Chain A
């Protein structure tokens, strides 16, 4: 596709349920980042994938969060046992390493 695609656009889930958020990066982009944007806040780094290297998980806020990137392309961010404080917009960005970061439109997660 022409840009970074994220799905779903919106997700409402009950506290305690697991959710999966998907990111389709720009074709050929080797680097993929996940960020979280809480209401009225800046963007917080979560996890980084570069090629076939081990991901940088240093920004994940708890062990309930995990992510994978299959075949160097699509990435899935999984949040287990969701809590209300997980409510936020989750943004994915892809780049050629060191280049401009292109962001998707985000997934707005609401935990009720």
Chain B
């Protein structure tokens, strides 16, 4: 069964707008929550990651918000640009499971100029 649930499946945003992708998990053992960006024909590339001891992490235009009690985390892309058009995957893993990543189903983001 899918251990990480991701929504929406796709979204369209205007250039300069905010893209928000949400993920939820059940396994409280998860202790590492990365987001991956994937362009067509390429492998996923790590975008930003968070551990549960912080509630927010920001890197440039990308921010992860983490709610441990709700077992939810989200990616916010500020000032979205056409170059951000890609598929985004949230994932989760934990040390006791050798950091095998459990992925969400992915969100295709299209940024309209």
A residues with a Cβ closer than 8 A to B are 4, 6, 31, 33, 35, 40-45, 48, 50, 56, 59, 91, 93, 95, 97-98, 100-106
Contact = CB atoms under 8 A, between A and B. Distances in A.
B49 interface: yes
A105 B40 CA distance: 10
26 contacts: A4-B43, A33-B100, A41-B105, A41-B106, A42-B2, A42-B103, A43-B44, A43-B89, A44-B103, A48-B100, A56-B98, A59-B100, A91-B43, A91-B44, A95-B99, A97-B98, A97-B99, A98-B95, A98-B99, A100-B49, A101-B99, A101-B101, A103-B36, A103-B44, A103-B45, A106-B43
Contact of A33 (B95, B101, B104): B101
A41 B89 CA distance: 10
A45 B2 CA distance: 11
B2 A104 contact: no
A8 to B, nearest CB: 14
Contacts of B100: 33, 45, 48, 56, 59
Contacts of B102: 45
B75 to A, nearest CB: 15
Nearest to A108: B41
B44 to A, nearest CB: 5
Given A4-B43, A33-B100, A105-B42, 16 more contacts: A31-B98, A35-B101, A40-B106, A41-B105, A42-B4, A42-B6, A42-B103, A42-B106, A43-B89, A45-B101, A48-B100, A56-B98, A56-B100, A59-B100, A93-B43, A103-B43
A100 B45 CA distance: 10
Contacts of A41: 105-106
